[in-house]
Every structure is written in structure tokens, then in C-alpha cells.
């Protein structure tokens, strides 16, 4: 196994423990790196210790004491820290603490900009370097550096705490954490980076192991698995995809989790997971349970109203009741500001117009979609659709 | 850790909270031992702005008068362990309702 990968796994956990102990993100980051560097030097020579996690934690704490000893400003805190080190060396054989949940809630704190929360989760919990985070979000390294520095400054100076919210605060705070992980997945999905989408799934698994009783955490993991299961076939529209290329194991796991997420209640992630489970389990496009999908979209629209959900619902109704009915619903959404520059809206309209034989209008709608589509792959796909329509006219 | 809660009222909306609501809020902060200081400000029409230019010349103007939709109406300084606690008190402040907003600013600490 790749050593870098091992350390990426350990890194988030070690960092979380140290942040909790020191209450200082900068110091925790520095000594996490120190400890991992030391491990890279010693382990190849002395062998991997019996309890690598405990070794890293002890080393990191000693490094922290060294650093603080050199730093006069922090001299006062040294006394405190020394006591901590003496008192809390991990007992032999005892379970190491896992404080990653605290760190999740800090990274996704509502006082931080929404667009930075996913980046912070990647940086601090997934062990990404800043250049790797920058690549994930397709921004220059310096830009990402500034965003992370600004966020860290706010965490430390405004004293955003490292704590798991009380149960009564969870309904308000958990969606932010889920959204941060989901945003990492959608970045990976949009950029067609399976590694990044896979990282989001790994983070959702960690989150679920920390909050096993929260149905929306289970729903999020289910949703990610059920969408990711189609990754190898997604160059085509859902109706044209080669379903033998879908990942069966992932679908089975996702479906079981979706069912769990919707037992005794429901939330938006669980409902979206259920919609994707119906797609993934259908033998083909025509024999998909469209009435059930429309019903789930109705539920989703009540739970989390948005023009994009309304668009997806209209597309499902177009299959259930015909293109005419779908197009009427899409045209009702024409005034939505959120959909004006959203190319899937134009593309969905184009498809329905094409199906109704209104090819001149369809071609126009495809051209609008192409102008709005961001990535090359997306544009190429729409161009092929346009060419097919133009050929007929 | 000290935070200043800057209490802004919506310029275009009448608050529904009463004097009693404000007094109860203050009492709650006092009883919890978090209140450091606080004042409400007189009506915005009484405000005056002073600026001194690079030449040392003083400019005094009436106002500022709100082009903004929110008017600073008062402040509270509280001493609490962390931002979550400060946000909790901000949410309890009657000024955070009826289109108003409470801005939470940590008070800068210099040195140790």
C-alpha cells in the first residue's frame, strides 16, 4: 500500500485530536506534519510500530512542546500543554480518541463562507495539500491559499469552537456538514474526477461511522454511492447508458442504505437516494418506476423546494405522461432566475421539443444550452445532440 | 473572549418587540454573567459625522443618513467562551428580529 495513502488516512484523525487538545489549528497542522515526517524517517529503519496512531500522537505532542519552548509568546501555554502531555499519553492498548466529528463541524461552521467549507474539509479531514484542494475546485493555488488562510484566521480569531453541537442544535448544523461533503462530490462529478468523488464517499463513510444514528448522513452516503455507481457509463444520457457498466456492488450497498435512511422518516438526501436507487435498479429506462419517481420528486419539492428539483420533476413527468406535459411544466419555470443560465434546463427543453417534432425550436434551445455549458465534455455532448437534430431538418 | 454585538434595525420595518423584551434580554445576560457593557443609541437624526482631512481641516456634517436599509441602533459587549455562545446570545437579542440584524464582532486582543 502506498505510504502517502496510509498517512492521508491517519492525518485527519491525528489533526483532529491535536486541534481538540491544543485549540490551535496552526500548531496542530505543523506538528501533524512534523510527526508524519518523523514517521517517514524512522519507520523504514526501525519498522512500523505496533500502534502507528499512538506513535504519531505521542510524537506530535512532543514536537508541540519543542515548538512552544522555542516560542516565547506561547510560553504561558507551555505549562498547560506539558501537563496535558504527562497526563494523557495514550494508555497501552486503549482506543485512540476520534475527534474528527468536532473538526467536521468546525470546517462547515455557518460563520465560514459556504464556498470554503468543502475546501476546508478536503484540507483538514481528507489530508489534501492546498495545491490539491485548488485543483479540486479549479482555482489558482494562490487563490485557494488566501481562502484557507482567511478561514483559519477567522476560526482562530473569532474563536469558532471545536465541538459537536448539542442534539437540539444538530438540525440546524448538520445540513452544513452534509452540504460540504456533497459539494466535494459534485465538484468531482462536474470535473469527471472519479478520485475526488471517491474521496467524498470516503468522507461520507467517516461521517456515518461518527453519526450512525443520523438518517440524513446515511442518506447522503447512499446518494453518493448510487450516483457514483453509474460513473463508467455516464458519457451517455441515462436512457442510452449501457447498464452492464454500472457498479452492481455499489448499487446494492447504496440501495440498502437508502432504505435505512427512509425508515421511520425522511430527509432530502434520503429521498434523492431513493430516486437514484429506482433508476439504478431498473432493468432499462422504459421499465423504470416513473410514477414512484415523480411521487418522490413531489416529496423532495416539499422538503427542499428549488427550481432545479422542479426541473427534474418535470423531466420525470415527461416520461410518465408524455413530452407535451413535461414541456408545459418546463415552460412554467421559464421565469426562474436560477434556471436562466442553467444549461441543463435548456437541454431538457431541447430534448422535449425534439421529441415533439419541433426541431427548429429544439435546435435553437440546444444552441442556447451549448453557449451556457461550462466544460468541454458537456459542450461536445450537446453539439452531438444538435447535429442529430439539424440533420433531420 | 469578548464580542461586540452591533444591533442594526431595519429602516423600513417597525419592530414588534417591546421595552419589556429588551429589559428581559438584558436581565438574562446579566444573570448569566456575560454582560460587559451596552448602550442603545439615540435616533439617527441626532447623528453627526466628523472627518479630518490630510491638511488637518475638520469637516463636520449632519448624518450619516441611511441610504442603507439598516441603522445601527445600539451595541452590547459580552464575554463568553466562544463564537457559538456569542451567536446564541445574538439570536436571543430582540434586535435580531423584524428585519433587524445583529453583527457579531470579536474584540481585538493585542498581546497576551
Q: Where are the domains of chain A?
A: 3-90, 306-393
Residues on chain B touching A158 (C-beta within 8 angstroms) = 83, 104, 106
User: Does residue B107 contact residue B2 with C-beta atoms inside 8 Å?
Assistant: yes
Do the Cβ atoms of B82 and A159 come within 8 Å? yes
**Nearest CA distance, B85 vs chain A (angstrom):** 9
Distance CA A15, CA A121 (A): 12
Q: Does pLDDT of A392 surpass 80?
A: no
Q: What is the largest CA-CA distance in chain A?
A: 81
Q: Do A161 and B81 touch (CB under 8 A)?
A: yes
- In chain B, positions 38-97, which contact chain A (CB-CB < 8 Å)? 81-84, 87
B2-106 topology per CATH: Alpha-Beta Plaits (3.30.70)
Q: Residue B1: pLDDT above 70?
A: yes
Q: What is the mean pLDDT of chain A?
A: 90
- And the C-alpha cell for A6? 496510509
CA A149 to chain centroid, in Å, comes to 21
- For the segment B44-66, the average pLDDT, to the nearest whole number, is 88
The mean pLDDT value for A293-301 works out to: 97
Domain extents for chain B? 2-106
What pLDDT score was predicted for residue A1? 45
- Tell me which chain B residues have a C-beta less than 8 angstroms from the C-beta of A109: 83
Superfamily classification of domain A306-393: Tetratricopeptide repeat domain (1.25.40.10)
Cβ within 8 Å, pair A160-B83:
yes
Identify the residue whose cell numbers are 448538520.
A174
List the single residue in B83, B104, B106 with the smallest CB-CB distance to A161.
Answer: B83
Question: For A37-46, A64-73, A227-236, which range has the lowest pLDDT when averaged over its residues?
Answer: A64-73
Most confident of A45-54, A126-135, A248-257: A248-257
pLDDT band at A192 (very low <50, low <70, confident <90, very high): confident
E runs forming strands in chain A:
none
| Yes or no, beta carbons of A161 and B84 under 8 Å apart | yes
CB A18 within 8 A of CB A60: yes
pLDDT of residue A98: 86
Judge if the upstream peptide bond of residue B67 is cis by omega within 30 degrees of 0. Answer: no
**A44 falls in which pLDDT band (50, 70, 90)?**
confident
Q: Residue A69 pLDDT > 90, yes or no?
A: no
The rounded percent of chain A whose pLDDT value lies above 70 is 91
How confident is the model at residue B21, as a pLDDT? 94
* CB contact A163 to B (< 8 Å): yes
End-to-end Cα, chain B, rounded Å? 12
Q: How far is A76 from chain B (nearest CA, A)?
A: 9
Check CB contact of A79 with chain B, cutoff 8 Å.
no
Nearest-CB residue to B83 (from A73, A159, A165): A159
C-alpha cell belonging to residue A215: 438518517
What does residue A45 show for φ and ψ, rounded to 5 degrees? -90, -55
Q: Which residues of A touch B87 (CB under 8 A)?
A: 111
Q: With bands split at pLDDT 50, 70 and 90, how would you rate the model's confidence at B110?
A: confident
pLDDT over 90 (residue A117): yes
Q: Which residue of B has its CA nearest to A164?
A: B84
Mutate to test the interface with B, among A158, A162, A172 (most CBs of B within 10 A): A158
DSSP state of A245: G
Mark which residues 1-20 of B lie under 8 Å from A by CB.
1
Choose from A71, A159, A170 for mutation: most chain B CBs within 10 A: A159
Q: Which residue has the cell 451567536?
A: B87
Polymer length of chain A? 393
Q: Given a cut of 80, is residue B69 above it in pLDDT? A: no
Instruction: Tell me: ipTM over 0.90.
Output: no
pLDDT tens profile B5-52? 999 988 778 878 889 999 999 999 999 999 999 999 998 888 899 999
Contacts of B112 in chain A (CB under 8 A): 73, 76
Check CB contact of A159 with chain B, cutoff 8 Å: yes
Beta strand B2-10 with B35-40 is unpaired
Q: Does the beta-carbon distance from A157 to B106 stay under 8 Å? A: yes
Q: Chain B residue closest to A76 (CA)?
A: B112
Does any CB of chain B come closer than 8 Å to the CB of residue A168? no
Closest-CA residue of B relative to A112 is B83
* Backbone φ, ψ for residue A218 (5° rounding): -60, -40
CB A340 within 8 A of CB A314: no
Q: Which chain B residues contact residue A76 at CB under 8 A?
A: 112
Which residues in chain B touch residue A159, judged by CB atoms under 8 angstroms apart?
1, 81-83, 106
Which pLDDT tens digit goes with each residue over A197-225?
999 999 999 999 999 999 999 999 999 99
The contacts of residue B33 (CB under 8 Å, 6+ apart) are none
**Closest residue on chain B to A75 (Cα):** B112
Query: How many beta carbons lie within 10 A of that of residue A100, not counting itself?
Result: 23
Identify from B1, B83, B104, B109 which residue to disrupt to test chain A contact, counting A C-beta atoms within 10 A and taking the largest count: B83
Distances in Å between the Cα of A57 and the Cα atoms of A7, A162, B26 are 13, 18, 45
Compute the distance between CA of residue A235 and CA of residue A322 in angstroms, rounded to an integer: 25
Answer for the pair A231, A247: CB distance below 8 angstroms, yes or no: yes
Contact B1 A161 (CB under 8 A): no
Q: Indicate yes or no: CB of A73 within 8 angstroms of CB of B112.
A: yes
Amino acid at each position: 500500500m502506498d505510504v502517502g495513502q496510509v498517512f492521508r488516512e491517519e492525518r485527519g484523525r491525528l489533526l483532529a485530536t491535536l486541534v481538540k487538545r491544543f485549540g490551535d489549528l496552526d500548531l496542530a497542522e505543523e506538528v501533524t506534519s512534523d510527526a508524519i515526517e518523523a514517521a517517514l524517517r524512522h519507520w523504514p529503519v526501525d519498522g512500523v510500530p505496533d500502534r502507528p496512531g499512538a506513535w504519531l500522537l505521542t510524537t506530535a505532542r512532543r514536537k508541540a512542546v519543542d515548538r512552544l519552548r522555542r516560542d516565547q509568546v506561547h510560553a504561558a501555554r507551555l505549562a498547560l500543554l506539558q501537563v496535558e502531555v504527562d497526563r494523557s499519553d495514550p494508555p497501552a492498548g486503549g482506543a485512540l480518541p476520534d475527534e474528527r466529528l468536532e473538526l467536521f463541524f468546525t470546517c462547515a461552521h455557518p460563520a465560514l463562507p459556504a464556498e470554503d467549507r468543502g475546501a476546508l474539509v478536503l484540507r483538514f479531514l481528507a489530508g489534501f495539500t492546498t495545491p490539491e484542494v485548488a485543483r479540486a475546485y479549479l482555482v489558482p493555488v494562490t487563490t485557494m491559499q488566501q481562502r484557507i488562510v482567511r478561514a483559519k484566521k477567522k476560526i482562530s480569531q473569532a474563536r469558532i469552537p471545536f465541538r459537536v453541537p448539542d442534539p437540539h442544535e444538530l438540525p440546524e448544523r448538520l445540513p452544513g456538514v452534509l452540504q460540504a461533503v456533497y459539494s466535494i462530490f459534485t465538484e468531482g462529478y462536474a470535473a469527471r474526477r472519479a478520485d475526488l468523488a471517491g474521496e467524498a464517499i470516503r468522507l461520507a463513510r467517516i461521517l456515518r461511522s461518527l453519526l450512525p444514528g443520523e438518517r440524513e448522513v446515511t442518506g447522503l452516503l447512499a446518494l453518493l454511492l448510487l450516483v457514483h455507481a453509474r460513473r463508467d457509463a455516464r458519457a451517455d444520457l441515462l436512457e442510452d447508458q449501457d447498464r452492464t457498466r454500472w457498479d452492481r456492488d455499489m448499487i446494492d450497498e447504496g440501495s440498502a442504505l437508502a432504505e435505512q435512511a427512509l425508515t421511520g422518516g425522511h430527509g432530502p438526501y434520503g429521498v434523492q437516494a431513493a430516486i437514484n436507487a429506482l433508476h439504478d435498479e431498473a432493468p432499462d429506462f422504459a421499465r423504470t418506476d416513473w410514477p414512484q419517481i415523480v411521487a418522490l420528486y413531489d416529496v423532495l419539492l416539499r422538503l427542499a423546494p428549488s427550481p432545479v428539483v422542479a426541473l427534474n420533476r418535470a423531466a420525470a413527468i415527461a416520461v410518465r405522461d408524455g413530452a407535451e406535459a413535461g414541456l408545459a411544466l418546463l415552460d412554467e419555470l421559464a421565469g426562474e432566475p436560477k434556471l436562466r443560465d442553467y444549461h441543463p434546463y435548456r437541454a431538457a427543453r431541447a430534448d422535449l421539443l425534439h421529441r415533439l417534432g419541433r426541431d427548429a425550436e429544439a435546435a435553437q434551445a440546444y444552441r442556447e444550452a451549448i453557449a451556457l455549458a461550462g466544460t468541454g465534455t458537456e459542450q461536445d455532448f450537446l453539439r452531438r445532440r444538435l447535429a442529430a437534430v439539424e440533420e433531420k431538418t | 473572549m469578548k464580542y461586540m454585538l452591533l444591533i442594526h434595525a431595519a429602516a423600513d420595518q417597525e419592530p414588534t418587540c417591546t421595552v419589556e423584551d429588551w429589559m428581559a434580554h438584558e436581565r438574562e445576560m446579566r444573570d448569566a454573567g456575560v454582560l460587559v457593557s451596552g448602550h442603545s443609541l439615540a435616533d439617527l437624526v441626532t447623528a453627526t459625522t466628523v472627518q479630518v482631512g490630510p491638511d488637518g481641516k475638520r469637516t463636520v456634517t449632519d448624518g450619516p443618513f441611511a441610504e442603507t436599509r439598516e441603522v445601527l441602533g445600539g451595541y452590547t459587549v459580552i464575554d463568553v467562551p466562544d463564537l457559538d455562545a456569542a451567536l446564541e446570545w445574538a439570536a436571543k437579542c430582540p434586535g435580531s428580529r423584524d428585519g433587524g440584524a445583529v453583527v457579531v464582532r470579536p474584540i481585538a486582543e493585542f498581546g497576551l
